[in-house]
């Protein structure tokens, strides 16, 4: 299996209502480092997994759509708990919609130096 990883980041505000989330139930900010790992069993005709420039541009485009936003006020997330796991899947799906990539994509959101969540899957 081959892989290529590109990285970006987002800074968001949100709340996670409910006793389950403890202090995170209140409005708070989060800064995530995003790793997008493109995976393929084979290289393409150019001997690459993915065009790194294109992958970086698409990831940045998706990141810009989230960064510096209060996700509680974003219509895309009305009534949704925007957990790290949920956002990993959202970013995955948005990147795959914008790219002609046939392998699998793993998105990892690093909340801190000790915690991260990922979603991996094929094109949606």
Residue 111, domain member (yes or no): yes
Q: What is the pLDDT of residues 96-117, one digit of tens each?
A: 999 989 899 999 999 999 999 9
d(CA 71, CA 66): 8
Residue 76, domain member (yes or no): no
d(CA 94, CA 8): 14
Residue 28, domain member (yes or no): yes
The CATH number of the domain holding residue 106 is 3.30.479.10
Residue 15, domain member (yes or no): yes
Residue 79, domain member (yes or no): no
Domain that holds residue 12: 1-44+90-124
Domains identified in the chain, total number: 1
pLDDT at 110: 98
pTM across the whole model: 0.95
Token pair 């708990």 in the structure block, residue? 81
């Amino acid at each position: 299996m081959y892989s290529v990883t590109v990285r970006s980041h987002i800074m968001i505000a949100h709340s996670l209502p409910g006793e389950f989330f403890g202090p995170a139930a209140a409005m708070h900010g989060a800064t995530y480092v995003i790793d997008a790992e493109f995976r393929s069993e084979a290289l393409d005709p150019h001997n690459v997994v993915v065009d790194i420039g294109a992958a970086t541009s698409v990831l940045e485009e998706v990141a810009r759509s989230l960064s510096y936003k209060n996700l509680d006020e974003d219509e895309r997330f009305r009534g949704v708990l925007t957990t790290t796991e949920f956002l990993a899947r959202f970013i995955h799906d948005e990147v795959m919609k914008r790219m002609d990539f046939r392998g699998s994509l793993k998105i990892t959101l690093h909340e801190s130096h000790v915690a991260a969540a990922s979603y991996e899957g094929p094109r949606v």
